Structure 1
């Protein structure tokens, strides 16, 4: 918070210097900006430095303290607060000054603790008043800007606003958008800055650059701040807008990193024409993703064409093919190329939105076709609504890449589930049809699977190769028939469980059970 200006008025040098050393002025919220040893000099000093507080003695030569207070109060020179310093004998005299609204009076010799307490309470009061003034000015400025850009302001209103803003009829004005980017909640670790805080710091830096207490009029648009930039702010920069914007952006970077983008409309001359500058600033917003330094000036880009083009069909199809094959490195290489083109080929924001949406819809379609739920993706909703946030091109690429990573993980999981379900179906089919003539190749053809891949998947899932599983299944069924039917001949059992050759059946049975089918039956008897 800025220190409030104060002056000391006393004809005794010793008293003034002693008071300056006695009090910790900065701790109390004040700074001494001038001294005077009589009321006449004090009048001139008050007009020149515009203090918020005047500390004055009652008895002084030329013009005494009471007359000083009366003249400042009645002649509307300004309205500082007054604190009177008086001796015991001047107490009644000092009381007369109270009718002029004197804040307080202190009796000599001055008590440091008591006087500091008075100053601190006054500091709180001044801060509260200043905050209220800023709020009123902000509200007034916001309503004024709204009327101007909607074309609803009449000539009398415009004249009144120009007077309050200390503007002349043809003073230069520029409408400027300040936009805070990458201030979002799509990542849990992010701590967003409120619009009110952003506006407060923007106002603070504008005041610091202009070295003026006069608040700059601002208006809160949906997701950025509009600033009515008067020409006097450019005076320290020889009227050069680009120099001012570079300095302003650097000042905001201290608070927000490299998240602030600035978009300047064209210069107009007079408040009545600010709507034209506002429209130009809106046009400048469209060039956000074509620049590197986060500053767009309408006068520099108005002749440059934006592109509204879609992805090449072959390139998009390859992107989707790589995604479905889970070749995510190849997918990300394509994304890098696309985002490079967005800047270099001057894509309009709407064109970028259209192309990203095409990719998102393609990925969502793939997930649905695999019976997955795309709504389970935490990155989907932010990406579908990215234009409601203020995102730099780099952050948009990060968000898109995060969506691809998460979608890729979901597709991999769905594929595992499908593979698991598919191999279970194949196993059930074998168990139901083991007596038929079947091979790994014929099963793979029936289920539209590569036979080598099916063999590997079967071994990975069940721990045995397909042929071993089928043989064990047939032998187990043969053993059941040998136990349950003494009348069935060996060749009949072989044929029943899927062996076309009885001798081959006997060989395979003996290989697994270490005895022939006949020996197995005899053992049971």
Structure 2
């Protein structure tokens, strides 16, 4: 059984204590996480604890229940609100309805009535959570989202951003079947400059995609999706020699859509591969084939293997993919995983399996990529602080085992430096926030949202980092800093309390006095008296 949290808000503390004592909260499925005697304090507690229910009085000092509820509904829409008040006025009731309050209860509240209200609230909360957790509903949401998830997977696949060991899980989760045994990418480009009169280019491109699905989709077991303003199809072939048949059919398709809807379409046909992890290379060659339309003309299919057979050797994008996998492991995984990834990459570029020239090129690309990695991640490494040419010459002189060890050591070093950089970044982030407070504490509009906007970061991420680094919430830090400034002003100046309140960001001097007393245990005037007398 789920237990829900309640925050009680009333400026009459006796009322709250009676409610806490007379209701069997645990028995009806609730826990009181605390209480506040004004709306401003309540809002701080809501931001920190995010209770399921807030039961609040309406008329309170500093911030009334209506204003508090407005804030809650805007920033925490899932939180339920109950009003209880001794002011039986129609305008209040109307406003409560407008704020979508769950209940409007008049004081004095008896235990039976309140127990019934919260019992019904528990039933409603249970139903809402049950709906969200319902396997059937979640399955429905999932199936509705599946086409978008699949399209996103295909896009990531042709970008070369999926690791081989992740593939099976993606295919299972997204209910995708690749039977092959051979695969090929098609890039279907619709001209945006040569379109029928009065035809919208986007509608024309959408129509071409629909025709492609009907004309090519079923026969070639194609996966079809949009990517970078083109239609991309991943087709499946029973054998490599079916490629010429596919080229002919794509050529006929180009002429068909030109005749039927007037679209000028070029289909680029990429290299054939046996592993879907290699589809990034097939896509790159298909996209390159489309660019040859300036030479061979549009409204036709262009097969990269036919027009540039000598260029169909292994693409350098394979190297890029393998390097990307190594860098991803350095960023996210343990030392053991990093060593394994470095060994895998070294096995790929190792000299015995390649020509001397290709080996030298791979080592040069490795150094270049490692250097870019240091720059992009603010890593200070002495290997890359000197002459890169000298480093390249030195590495080429190393034997296989020594070069492998160097790659492993530099990868582990990068991982260690990244951890240090992240820690420094978090501390720098907090310093900036604290500095912002020091320069804007007098602004009564200063809040968690405004500092996050200034730092260009989300509230949730900021709050997590700030609390982790300082041990205090941002609101707590801001309040403490304002109070310390106020205490200094009370001792060092003769300004009135309401002037000091305004100078440290409080528009309401009464609320300032309340917060000050909560912080120091005495009122501002008494604090001034005690400290000025002690100095004499």
> Which structure: larger Rg?
1
Range into which the TM-score falls when normalised by the shorter chain: 0.3 to 0.5
